[in-house]
Amino acid sequence: MNTLHLDFGREMRGGQLQAMRLMCGLRDRGHGVVLLARKESPLLECAQRERIHAEALTWWSLVRAARHAQVVHAHDARSHLFAALLSRKPLVVSRRVIFHVGRGSWSRWKYGRARAYAAVSKAVRRELKRAGVPEEKIRVIYDGVPLLEESWDEAGPTVIPRSSDKRKGSSMAAEAAVQAGGPVLVSRNLEQDLRGANLMVYITKSEGLGSAALLAMSAGIPVIASDVGGLKEVVLNGKTGMRVKNNVEAIARAVRDLRGRPEKARKMGTRARRMVAENFSIHRMVDQTLEMYEAVLRAP
């Protein structure tokens, strides 16, 4: 199957990482993969290093590349618009955010153009349904993350992912972690910095799913996360981590609890890692995406 992937993001964030994992998985199974992405973007450069055919996304490059594709997969809102306007090939769209979808005629036209939506969580699926997308067009396909080596350490730091996104509460999480005591690490390289961590704090105003939380869980690191959006489907309160309100006192209280009860934290991390292995693997994500493509191509 020949697949064309589109992404117009400027940064290498969760959506771009998932697109990269999907493309590599498709390529490794023998499917044709082409990426069109923003010029000089980290995703474009990463795909080229991985020897995936990748070019800058322009109107003309999209028209040209779509001629050879059986399925066009848009991974963000801007590329969704590009594909809706310029391609007549079957279009699928990944929806990763939980923001309200516009109800105007232009938005209804754009969302009506896609044959299928890959919602990153049940929470995102609910939002698409509220916007009028037919339920039969929506599939929940969870993120896939690598299963990292189990690396929880009782004496390790509280890790906080650094983010420039104003919706993410990195500064609030850091303030709470410092208040709670113990070493704190604000991470620029999460996969590397999770090694030997004690727990991770992930605070946000809204979240489609939370692939950073999943990555920590894959290493057996319990997660303290905001009680919002798709995080409720990942961080099972009291089982694989703890969900909290977005205020310093609640976060600090949860950090003190887990740091002060290492056996509880270790058991949470073990359950979290098992959950990721069973439900959030890259292999499973690729399987389900291929099933979506095949269903779209079979449809009249």
Q: Where are the domains of the chain?
A: 2-144+281-298, 158-279
Going by pLDDT thresholds of 50, 70 and 90, the confidence category of residue 29 is very high
Residue range 158-279 in CATH 3.20.20.70: no
Q: What is the DSSP letter of 241?
A: E
Look over the chain and give the mean of its residue pLDDT values, rounded to a whole number: 94
221/239 Cα distance (integer angstroms): 12
- Residue 28's contacts (CB-CB under 8 Å, 6 or more residues apart) are none
Which pLDDT score, from 0 to 100, does residue 98 have? 87
Q: Are 197 and 171 in contact (CB under 8 A)?
A: no
Q: What is the mean pLDDT of residues 43-47?
A: 98
Q: Is the pLDDT of residue 100 over 90?
A: no
Q: Is the pLDDT of residue 51 over 90?
A: yes
Quote the distance between the C-alpha of residue 271 and its chain's center.
21
Q: Is the pLDDT of residue 105 over 80?
A: no
Q: Which residue type sits at 87?
A: S
Q: Is the pLDDT of residue 108 over 90?
A: no
What percentage of the chain has pLDDT greater than the value 70? 98
CA geometry: angle 288, 143, 50, nearest 5 deg: 90
Which pLDDT score, from 0 to 100, does residue 101 have? 75
Dihedral sign for Cα atoms in the order 71, 76, 79, 81: positive
229/215 Cα distance (integer angstroms): 18
How confident is the model over 207-224, as pLDDT tens digits?
999 999 999 999 999 999
249/295 Cα distance (integer angstroms): 48
9/90 Cα distance (integer angstroms): 22
Query: CATH for 2-144+281-298?
Result: 3.40.50.2000
Question: How many angstroms separate the Cα of 104 from the Cα of each of 107, 126, 132?
Answer: 5, 19, 11
Q: Are 199 and 250 in contact (CB under 8 A)?
A: no
Residue 225: beta bridge partners? 202, 243
Q: Are 234 and 212 in contact (CB under 8 A)?
A: no
281/275 Cα distance (integer angstroms): 10
Which pLDDT score, from 0 to 100, does residue 90 have? 97
Phi-psi region of 97 (alpha: psi -120 to 50; beta: other; left: phi over 0): beta
Q: Is the pLDDT of residue 245 over 80?
A: yes
DSSP string, 46-93: HHHHTT-EEEE--HHHHHHHHTT-SEEEE-SHHHHHHHHHH--S-EEE
What percentage of the chain has pLDDT greater than the value 90? 89
- Is pTM, for the whole model, over 0.85? yes
Q: Are 237 and 197 in contact (CB under 8 A)?
A: no
- Residue 300's contacts (CB-CB under 8 Å, 6 or more residues apart) are none
Going by pLDDT thresholds of 50, 70 and 90, the confidence category of residue 166 is low
Q: Are 120 and 95 in contact (CB under 8 A)?
A: yes
Q: Are 2-144+281-298 and 158-279 the same fold in CATH?
A: yes
Which run of H or E residues covers position 127? Answer: helix 122-130
200/159 Cα distance (integer angstroms): 5
Q: Are 231 and 213 in contact (CB under 8 A)?
A: yes
Q: What is the mean pLDDT of residues 272-295?
A: 97
